[in-house]
Amino acid sequence: MINNNKKPNKLIKESSPYLLQHAYNPVEWLPWDDEALTKAKLENKPIFLSIGYSACHWCHVMAHESFEDENIASILNSKFVSIKVDREERPDIDDIYQKACQIAMGNGGWPLSVFLTPDQKPFYIGTYFPKQSRYGIPGFSTILETLAHAYQNKKEDINKATKELMDSLIESSSSVLVNNSKIEIEKTILDESAVNLLQLADSLHGGFGQAPKFPNTTNLLFLLRYFDYSKNSNFLNFVEFTAKKMAWGGIHDHIGGGFSRYSTDQKWLIPHFEKMLYDNALLIQLFAELYQATSKNQYITLIQTTVQYLLREMTLNNEKNECAFYSSQDADSEGVEGKYYTWSKNEIKENLLNNHKVELFCDYFGITQGGNFEGTNILNITKSKESLSKQYNISIDEVEDILNESLEVLFNIRKTRIAPGKDDKVLTSWNSLMISALVSAYKVTNDNEYLNCAKNTINFIEKKLSYASNRLKHTYKDGISKINGYLDDYSYYINSLLDVFEVTSNQFYFQRAIQYADSMIEHFWDENEKSFFFTSDDQEQLILRTKNYYDLAIPSGNSMALYAILRLHFLTQDQGYMDKSESIIKSCYKAALGNPFGFGQLLISVYLYFKKPLEIIILQNNKNHHNKGEIKSWIRKQYIPNSIILTLEYSSHELKELMASTIFTLLKGKKIDVADGDKFTECVYICKDFTCSLPMYSLSELKNYLNSN
C-alpha cells in the first residue's frame, strides 16, 4: 500500500503496479537488476527474493504483516539484499524458483519467498510466511535471523542445500523429455488421455479434483474435441456440467460479469476474488465452443456478460483503432478480501424494496441472513428459474425480468463502492488470448464489435509491442514497452493472428503469423532437444534456461507453439513446421500419457494432427449483396474444431489471381471452378486431403452435404 508520508525505496522508479505497491515499505527493496545482484556479491549478503503480483491476496497479507513492519524491515535491510519481482513481468524468474519450491515443498504459489546466494542459487524457499509463528510455521523474523546466521556461519550447510536444489532443478528441467527418435505417435493417446481425464472428474460438482478448484479450461476444450472425435456424448455432458456449475457458482460474478481466478472450495461457491484476464479469455472460448456444440443460448449470454465486463473495466483505449486489455483486478478492496462483491441480506432488502422481488431474488441466489462467507453473501444460483416460476406462480419471463431488474439495481449500488485495485499493465501473451476469445465470440454472435476489438488489439501490439519487424516485447505500461517477449508472447500471438485471419482472410494477419513464427523458431528453438525454450537466445541469462511443457493457469508455451506451427503447416504445406510439430509431440508423448491433466493444450494439437483439417473455402460475389454471408455465418456457429475457413470476396479475375498467389497455399492444387460472378451470392467448397466437393450455392445444399459425410 502506498503511503506518501514515508520515504520511498527504489521501487518508486518502476512502472509495475505490484512493485509500486511496495515502494513505501520500510524494506529497502530493489528491483531485479545488475545493481541488486552486484550489491549482494560486494556485500557478501544473501538475497531475499519476494515474488508476487498485484491481485494476490496473500501477497497483500504478508506485505501488511511483515514488509510494513519496522522490526522485520530492519533485519532485511541489515542482513539481506531484498529484491521484489512481479511474476507477470518476469515469468522466467518466477518459473525457475516456483520449480525449486515444488521440489523443496511439494507445492508452490504466491507470494513466493526465496533465499538465494549472491549467484542466484536457492538454499531455502517457501511461500507465505506469517509474521508470528502459526500454522506450524516459524515466524518470519525467526526465519530471517536463522538463515542470516546460517549463511554467515554454516557455509557447508548452505552449500549443501544449494547443491541439492540445483541438482534437482537441472534434473527436473529435462525430466519431461524423452529420446523421441523411436516414438510412434498413435491415435490411442487421444482415447487413453480422455478416459484418464474423465476419471479425475468431480462427478458431483464438475471440474477436476478437490479444493482449491481451478477452471482448467484447456482440459475441457480437449474433452470437447474428443467428443467430436469419438462422438461419445459423455465427454460433452461433463464439459457442459462443469460449465453450468461454474456459471451458477460464486466464482462467477453474477452482477458485473466475468469469473474469478479459482474457487477455494470444491463447489465453486467461495472464489478467490481476484479476476485475471487470461481466465476470462479462455472461458469465453469454452462458452463459444459449447454454443457451437449445443446451440444453447445460455452460452451466448455468458459470452456477452463476460466480454461486457472486460470491455467496461479492463480496457486501455489508447488511440483510434487501438485497444488493449489490462492484466487483473484485485481480490481486496479497503483491505478486505471480497468486500466489493459480497452482500448482507438486509442490504439487499433495503435496496430492492419490493418484498416479492426480494424473496425471489434471495431464493434464486442463495441469500440468507447468516450468509455463506464471513457473515455476508456471495451470489450463487441455488434454484432453477423454472422452479421459481412454479413457486411464485409467475411466468419464466416474469422471473427473468425480476432477476435482471434486481441485478441492475445492485450493479448500480456496487459502482458506488470502493473498487478493487487494477493492474493496468498490458501483457502481449494475455492480450493474445483475448484476441482469440473475441474471435470466438464473434463467430457465434456475429457481433462486429468483437471482431473490431480483436483487430484493434492487434493494432496495439503491432504499434506498441512489436520491434525490429518480427520481435515482440512482453509488457507495456505508461507509454513504455519493455522486456524481450517470452515463448508465450510469440506462440499465443501467432495463434491469435491466425484466428483473425480465418474470419477476415486478410493477408496481413497471415503474413505476420508466418513472420513471427519464423522469428520464434530462430530465437527459441532448441535443436538438441527438439522443443522451445521459454526465453529467447538474447534474453537475460539466469541460472537455468527453462522450458514449459505443462499447462498451469494458462496453456504451456511449447504446446501453444506446437498448435501455431501445426496450423501454419496445414495452411502453407511447409514441411519444416510439421517436422517441429511432430518432434514436440514425441518429446512430451509419454509424459502426456502418464499425466494428461497437464497436457490439455498439447492434446488439442494431437487431435488436429490426427483428424486433419476440414478446409472450408467460401467464395462471395462482390457484385451481389443479396443475403451475402448466410453460409459463412451458419458455418461459424457449427462445432467443427478441425476446420480451417477461408472467405474470399472476389470477381472472377481476382479469384484467379488469388489462387495463383503464394500466400494462399491452401488453395493450390485444388480444382475450384471460378463461377460467373454475376449469377450467385455465395458458394462454398469443402476440402480434405486435397480433394474438394463440388461448389454448393445454398445453405440447404451445404447442410445435406455435411450430414451425409
What digits encode the pLDDT tens for the residues 207-221?
Answer: 999 999 999 999 999
- pLDDT per residue over 455-506, tens digit each? 999 999 999 999 988 999 999 999 999 999 999 999 999 999 999 999 998 9
pLDDT at residue 623, rounded to an integer: 64
pLDDT at residue 2, rounded to an integer: 46
Predicted confidence (pLDDT) at residue 173 exceeds the cutoff of 80: no
* 3 state DSSP class of 576: helix
Surface-to-core class of residue 701, CB atoms within 10 Å of its CB (0-12 exposed, 13-18 middle, 19+ buried): middle
Which of 303-307, 421-425, 427-431, 628-632 shows the lowest mean pLDDT across its residues?
628-632
Over residues 299-313, mean pLDDT: 98
The set of cell numbers assigned to 418 is 470502493
The set of cell numbers assigned to 44 is 557478501
Predicted confidence (pLDDT) at residue 667 exceeds the cutoff of 70: no
Residues β-bridged to residue 621 = 650
pLDDT at residue 674, rounded to an integer: 54
Give the type of residue at 46.
Answer: P
pLDDT at residue 266, rounded to an integer: 96
Cβ neighbours of residue 426 closer than 8 Å, sequence gap 6 or more = 316, 324, 325, 326, 327, 460, 464, 465, 475, 476, 477
Beta strands in 278-392 (DSSP E): 315-316, 324-325, 328-329, 332-333, 336-337
pLDDT at residue 662, rounded to an integer: 53
Cβ neighbours of residue 148 closer than 8 Å, sequence gap 6 or more = 46, 75, 79, 80
- pLDDT per residue over 638-653, tens digit each? 999 999 988 877 655 5
Which of 33-37, 352-356, 393-397, 659-663 shows the lowest mean pLDDT across its residues?
659-663
Torsions phi, psi of 690, nearest 5?
65, 20
Over residues 171-180, mean pLDDT: 68
Q: In Å, what is the CA distance from 446 to each residue of 303, 503, 684? A: 12, 11, 19
CA angle 59, 60, 65 (to 5 degrees): 100
Element of type H or E holding 525: strand 525-526
Topology of domain 190-333+422-611, CATH: Glycosyltransferase (1.50.10)
- Per the listing, cell 449500488 goes with 413
pLDDT at residue 354, rounded to an integer: 76
DSSP string, 7-66: ---GGGG---HHHHHTTTSSS--EESSHHHHHHHHHHT--EEEEEE-TT-HHHHHHIIII
Topology of domain 341-414, CATH: Arc Repressor Mutant, subunit A (1.10.10)
Residues β-bridged to residue 482 = 475
Torsions phi, psi of 54, nearest 5?
-65, -25
Over residues 598-618, mean pLDDT: 95
CA neighbor of 327 nearest in space, from 258, 426, 251, 420: 426
Q: Compute the CA torsion angle 618, 621, 622, 626 (nearest 10 deg).
A: -110
Over residues 237-242, mean pLDDT: 98
Cβ neighbours of residue 94 closer than 8 Å, sequence gap 6 or more = 51, 85, 87, 112
Long-range contacts of 179-183 (CB under 8 A, 24+ apart): 180/530, 180/583, 180/586, 180/587, 180/589, 183/586, 183/589, 183/590
- pLDDT per residue over 341-378, tens digit each? 999 999 999 998 777 889 999 999 999 999 999 999 99
629: left (phi over 0), alpha (psi -120 to 50) or beta: left
Average pLDDT over all residues of the chain:
92
- pLDDT per residue over 43-52, tens digit each? 999 999 999 9
Give the type of residue at 527.
Answer: E
Q: In Å, what is the CA distance from 266 to each residue of 205, 271, 457? A: 7, 10, 36
- Return d(Cα 211, Cα 197) in angstroms, integer: 17
Task: Please state the three-class secondary structure of 116-176 as a single string.
Answer: ECCCCCEEEEECCCCCCCECCECCHHHHHHHHHHHHHHCHHHHHHHHHHHHHHHHHHHCCC
- Return d(Cα 275, Cα 57) in angstroms, integer: 11
CA neighbor of 265 nearest in space, from 198, 205, 216, 218: 205
DSSP string, 185-253: --THHHHHHHHHHHHTB-TTTSSBSSSSB---HHHHHHHHHHHHHH--HHHHHHHHHHHHHHHHSTTB-
- Return d(Cα 202, Cα 708) in angstroms, integer: 37
- Return d(Cα 696, Cα 682) in angstroms, integer: 9
For the chain, the first-to-last Cα distance in angstroms comes to: 62
Element of type H or E holding 466: strand 466-467
Neighbours of 199 (CB within 10 A): 9
Whether 444 contacts 292, CB under 8 Å: yes
- pLDDT per residue over 284-305, tens digit each? 999 999 999 999 999 999 999 9
Topology of domain 10-173, CATH: Glutaredoxin (3.40.30)
Q: What percent of the chain has pLDDT over 70?
A: 93
Predicted confidence (pLDDT) at residue 673 exceeds the cutoff of 70: no
Q: In Å, what is the CA distance from 188 to each residue of 168, 191, 230, 633? A: 32, 5, 12, 35
- pLDDT per residue over 84-127, tens digit each? 999 999 999 999 999 999 999 888 999 999 999 999 999 999 99
Q: Compute the CA torsion angle 564, 566, 568, 573 (nearest 10 deg).
A: 170
- Return d(Cα 329, Cα 407) in angstroms, integer: 21
The angle that helices 345-352 and 396-414 make with each other, rounded to 10 degrees, is: 110
pLDDT at residue 467, rounded to an integer: 94
- Return d(Cα 275, Cα 325) in angstroms, integer: 13
pLDDT at residue 1, rounded to an integer: 45
CA neighbor of 289 nearest in space, from 229, 228, 247: 228
